[in-house]
Structure 1
Amino acid sequence: MTQMWANFHLLRPEWLLLLPLSLGLWWLWQRSRDPLRGWRAQMHPDLLNALLVGEHSKRNLARYLLPVAWLLGIIAIAGPTWKLEPNPFVEDAQPLMILLKSDKSMLQTDSSSATHMERAQLKIADLAKARKGQPLGLIAYAGSAHLVLPPTADTAVVAEMAAEISPDIMPVPGDRLDLAIQKATALLQEESHGGSLLVIADTVAADSQTLTSTNQTANPVPIQFLALADADSPETTTLRDAAEQLNANVQELTIDDQDVSTITDFAERNASAGIAGESSRWQEAGYWLTPLLALIVAFSFRRRELAEAEKPS
């Protein structure tokens, strides 16, 4: 409530200049319609009130409805507001680009019989189900980075394409995560939307200085890592070091869907970092006064009908 009053202002305060004018016109109109105006100049007010009978002896509250309606209408036109309009882009799901490492190191195994690549493909399939209908893209990288699919709402296709990726189809071996990040960032910027990156890898062998300069832009893209190796392994340590250079988070692999839930939550919170939150336009609240104006108009019509009914035929 305190924040609301601190932000309260009028979008068009110049309309408030009509307030004294409207009150003055109403006062002049009331004087011109007063049937006892001549008597008021000749008699003492107490004596005149004692002689009045019927509706003139009572205060007619209905006559005050007109200035109240004018005041409410002027305030509504002045544009009272206290909060910014929500950004329309935030309502739409922002793209999540998956950067899948496809070097030969992904064929290694740890504590389970599944290779790192098989683990990654299974998690991508789970992620595609969790983000069904929300834009999901895929980039495969090793010594070079290649766009497999731009962000698409058909996430099942992303899972199918990821299942077909292997180190054998990559033209250059290596670990150029920096190239993958650059390609994904450029793609998101071309679409003029927010977005975030998910790096699925077992290790990161890129130079720390190269990684540091990779995501240093005016609007850096939020990045998170999914570690495929064991949590206490030297391979995962390289991911943590890379994440520190990129100001990113590292999510460890879990046997359930907890890692997928954490990834999707992070994406929803941070994907629209460049456009999220509130827009620069203030949301008008004057329309909230229209029900009161409608009631006043309806009441004035009712009073007129009663007055017509009371007239002698």
Structure 2
Amino acid sequence: MIDVWNAFHFIRPTCLFLIPIAFGLAWAWHRSHDPLRGWRNQIDSNLLDALVHQSGPPSKHGWQRLPAFTWLLVGWIVSVVAIAGPTWRVEANPFAQDAQPLIILMKADETMASAAQTTTPLQRAALKVADLAKARPGAPLGLIAYSGSAHTVLPPTEDTSVVADMAAEISPAIMPVAGDALDQAITEAGRLINRQEGGATLLIIANQAILDPQQVAAAHQAIGSPPIEILSLLPEESQETESLQAIAKTLGGKRIPLTIDDQDIQSIVQYAERRSSSGLAGQSDRWRESGYWLSPLLAAMVAWSFRRERTSHEDAS
């Protein structure tokens, strides 16, 4: 019981300021409808009370003769308390997302289309995006393609199959500028994050990075330093992979090596889920509204207001 009182508060406490306003209006209404207001300034109050003649004997139930403005005042106060949102219990927020978006930054320059091996890095990237879409069904997934410039292909969507289909269509031929603009891709991801509540995890899928890591870090910090991971598409011993490792170290992110099975995909999903859980901490719960418990009282007062008034003839009889 003590814990309940300690947790009790109003969700919208500013609404309680309407209560003194109600008292002020009730007082003004009472003064304006007092038939003896003029006499009170001329005759002593005790003498005036003795001269006033009641129209009938007092009712056995005095509360039945309370003036209308009194009932209106009580109803106003009860309504204000209900609107203010009294609460003492916490419930799960049904509008909180189960998972934050994962935004893919997919490189699409000429080096990604190199046919030095059986499959090009670009083809591997498209396959991994498809595997990732299957591993996170219904979880928001976004896609950005970049080379010398960065462009949003799809904002975060729960239809992950569409993201996989779009990733398969990306090629250097559709990119307007050649080069490596990873910093611009991170900036573009920041714009997508700002369009929605909460945060997101970034996933860079690339074969190499030719930018200065500090330049990429500056773009990352400018958007709030969201969690970031890198999927490298070339063998571990290659110099290109070392460039991605340097980027990951500078950003404080995680580099994930490419695997022939789904171990890399599972690692990406687990990393994103851990970051999502920590990012949503404190946002998945909310205070439960309890003002609706006053609704029966308000309904009873409204129903009582429609009662038949007793006339002076009935009172006399």
Q: Could you say which TM-score interval applies, normalised by the shorter chain?
A: 0.5 to 0.7
The residue aligned with 1:196 is: 201
Show CA shifts across 1:165-224 (max 9, x none).
111111100001000000011111111232111100000111222112111147421110
Q: Is the 8 A contact 2:144 2:150 kept in 1?
A: yes
The residue aligned with 1:101 is: 107
Show CA shifts across 1:56-114 (max 9, x none).
xxxxxxxxxxxxxxxxxxxxxx9877xx766666542211111100011102356x511
Counterparts in 2 of 1:134 and 1:12: CA distance versus 1, 3 Å: closer
Identity of aligned residues (%): 47
Counterparts in 2 of 1:89 and 1:204: CA distance versus 1, 3 Å: farther
Show CA shifts across 1:119-177 (max 9, x none).
10110111111111111111100000011111111111111111111111111000010
1:10 to 6, 10, 13: 6
Q: Secondary structure at the match of 2:221?
A: coil
Equivalenced residue count is 212
The residue aligned with 2:258 is: 253
Deviation at 1:261, TM superposition (A): 0.8
Q: Is the 8 A contact 1:141 1:175 kept in 2?
A: yes
The residue aligned with 2:235 is: 230
What is the CA–CA distance in structure 2 between the aligned matches of 1:280 and 1:269, rounded to whole Å? Answer: 15
Report the residue type matching 2:262 in the other structure: D
What is the CA–CA distance in structure 2 between the aligned matches of 1:239 and 1:204, rounded to whole Å? Answer: 6
Q: Is the 8 A contact 2:96 2:283 kept in 1?
A: no
What is the CA–CA distance in structure 2 between the aligned matches of 1:200 and 1:218, rounded to whole Å? Answer: 19
Q: Which runs of 5+ in 2 are unaligned?
A: 10-85, 291-317
2:237 is the counterpart of 1:241: no
2:209 is the counterpart of 1:213: no
Q: TM-score, normalised by structure 1?
A: 0.61
1:120 to 101, 109, 125: 125
Counterparts in 2 of 1:9 and 1:107: CA distance versus 1, 3 Å: farther
What are the within-5 Å matches in structure 2 for residues 266-281 of structure 1? 266-271=271-276, 274=279, 276-279=280-283
What is the CA–CA distance in structure 2 between the aligned matches of 1:208 and 1:148, rounded to whole Å? Answer: 25
Q: Is the 8 A contact 2:92 2:286 kept in 1?
A: no
Counterparts in 2 of 1:258 and 1:282: CA distance versus 1, 3 Å: same
The residue aligned with 2:59 is: none
What is the CA–CA distance in structure 1 between the aligned matches of 2:5 and 2:225, rounded to whole Å? Answer: 34
What is the CA–CA distance in structure 2 between the aligned matches of 1:281 and 1:113, rounded to whole Å? Answer: 50
Report the residue type matching 2:199 in the other structure: G
Q: Is the 8 A contact 2:93 2:285 kept in 1?
A: no
Deviation at 1:225, TM superposition (A): 0.4
What is the CA–CA distance in structure 2 between the aligned matches of 1:218 and 1:273, rounded to whole Å? Answer: 18
Q: Is the 8 A contact 1:86 1:278 kept in 2?
A: no
Q: Is the 8 A contact 1:195 1:272 kept in 2?
A: no
1:149 to 151, 154, 158: 154
Q: Is the 8 A contact 1:133 1:154 kept in 2?
A: yes
What is the CA–CA distance in structure 2 between the aligned matches of 1:88 and 1:214, rounded to whole Å? Answer: 34
Counterparts in 2 of 1:9 and 1:222: CA distance versus 1, 3 Å: farther
